[in-house]
Structure 1
Amino acid sequence: MATLTPGPQWYLFDYGMVISTAPEEADWQVLEEAAGLNLRQTDSAYWLHRLQYDEGRLSSRDYWTRVVGSAVSEGRAMELDSLDAIQWSHLNLDTLDVLDLLSSRTAELAVLSNMPLAMADEFSSAAWTRYFSQCFYSSRIGKVKPDPGAFQHVLSALNADPAAIVFIDDKAENIAAAKALGMTTVHHVPGTDLLRELGL
């Protein structure tokens, strides 16, 4: 269980695999059919170029051109972006329960997610965003986790001390980076009881 510091707190949530669940088999199938190749393997072009896309260094067309291996039109890039957003849109109901509880206690909530601009735009009015007063997306700040610069951007924007932030993320390297800056961290892996970890 995380040892929480007293006083005002920011709860800083990752999106993928924390607020959302993993893409489902059917989602991958639809996206792979549209792209014309297998994408879900960890060594696929989808993942190989993902951090550059998340960081905003690749446009949608540039990213999907690299993924597919041939030039794509603006329309096709938009279609693939839409299907990609759909597969990451399934919400973790247990996390939503935690967000409901924290929100009822008027806790300060923010998101820090590695997310391409097209997906950030797609989710800008999603129902889950109502819980958060601030949403930080890598493509908009030009830094991806675990780069300390991503966390420094959040600290500056929130005008918060690291010790006043509880960071929840599924990736060990992101947890390590946040912890090195002095944040309290919760490593959210399958089976994590977030209510218990946060002492709620």
Structure 2
Amino acid sequence: MTSSGPHWYLFDYGMVISTAPAPEDWRLLEQATGLRELAAGTSPYWERREDFDAGRLTPAQYWGSVLGRDPVPAEVEALEELDAAQWAHLNPRTLEVLETLHGEGANLALLSNMPEGMSRRYSTESSWAHYFSKLYFSGQMGLVKPDRRIFDRVVAGLGAAPEGIVFIDDNPQNISTARELGFHTVLHRSGTDLPAELAGRGR
């Protein structure tokens, strides 16, 4: 890279640092809600997830939309616990990359579509948050990827030019928007050799 200013690695969380929820996770959530096939993309779990990720719904409103009724506070708390647990499974290969980059003194930031409550939980309780000097979460920002405005805010927050940022994400739409803005990008898949993809970048 030849851009001026600091260089950053900007990581997504879900399906990059974390892995997909396990079948057992979905089963526990289905038991708690009395619903079936919540993992399916057309299920009530996903129907208003973007609004939840964007901070437009409270936990009670979101889980009410999933359940189809008003939940009591204890239900909301239990469902929030299950939801946080199912997205907390970590990808050891990505963690190795983070450990290496952190040890080299690289600038690491995170940008994730994530509800506010989950993001605050992970920020304080997770084993990975300490790798990052900047954490950006959609639920706290009121915007979700791939909205260009969320990338603009991150660029401003990092004090870097877009071409000084390597963005790693599993969603092609997010990657496309970032690339249009000038970011260097890595589309993360299950077989991605992340060390090879990042070799020579971000310096």
The verdict on a shared fold, with TM-score over 0.5 as the criterion, is: yes
The CA distance in 1 between the partners of 2:163 and 2:87, in whole Å, is: 30
Q: Percent identity?
A: 48
Q: CA deviation at 1:6?
A: 6.8
Contact 1:141–1:153 (Cα < 8 Å) also in 2:
no
CA distance in 2, matches of 1:178, 1:119: 24
| Corresponding position of 1:33 | 31
Does residue 144 of structure 2 align to residue 144 of structure 1?
yes
Partner of 1:23: 21
Give the distance between the partners of 1:148 and 1:74, measured in 2 at CA: 35
TM-score using structure 2 length? 0.94
The correspondence of residues 41-190 of structure 1 with structure 2, limited to 5 A, is 41-125=40-124, 126-190=126-190
Deviation of 1:121 after TM superposition, in Å, equals: 1.7
Residues 111-149 of structure 1, C-alpha deviation per residue, up to 9 Å, x if partnerless? Answer: 000000111122122110010001100010110000001
Q: Secondary structure at the match of 2:123?
A: coil
Partners of 2:75 and 2:120 in 1: CA distance? 17
Amino acid at match of 1:185: T
Contact 1:18 1:92 in 2 (8 A): yes
Show CA shifts across 1:88-133 (max 9, x none): 0000000000001101110000000000011112212211001000
**Residue 198 (structure 2) aligns with:** 198
Task: Please give the secondary structure, in 2, of the residue aligned with 1:130.
Answer: helix
Unaligned segments of structure 2, at least 5 residues: none
Aligned-partner SS, 1:19: coil
Structure 1 pair 95–84 and aligned structure 2 pair: CA distance change class (3 A): same
In structure 1, stretches of 5+ residues that fail to align are none
| Aligned-partner Cα distance in 2 for 1:105–1:6 | 20
Counterpart AA for 2:19: T
Query: Please, which moves more after superposition, 88-97 or 70-79?
Result: 70-79
Give the total of aligned pairs: 197
Is contact 2:166–2:185 with CA below 8 Å preserved after alignment? yes
Whole-angstrom distance in 2 between the partners of 1:189 and 1:72:
36
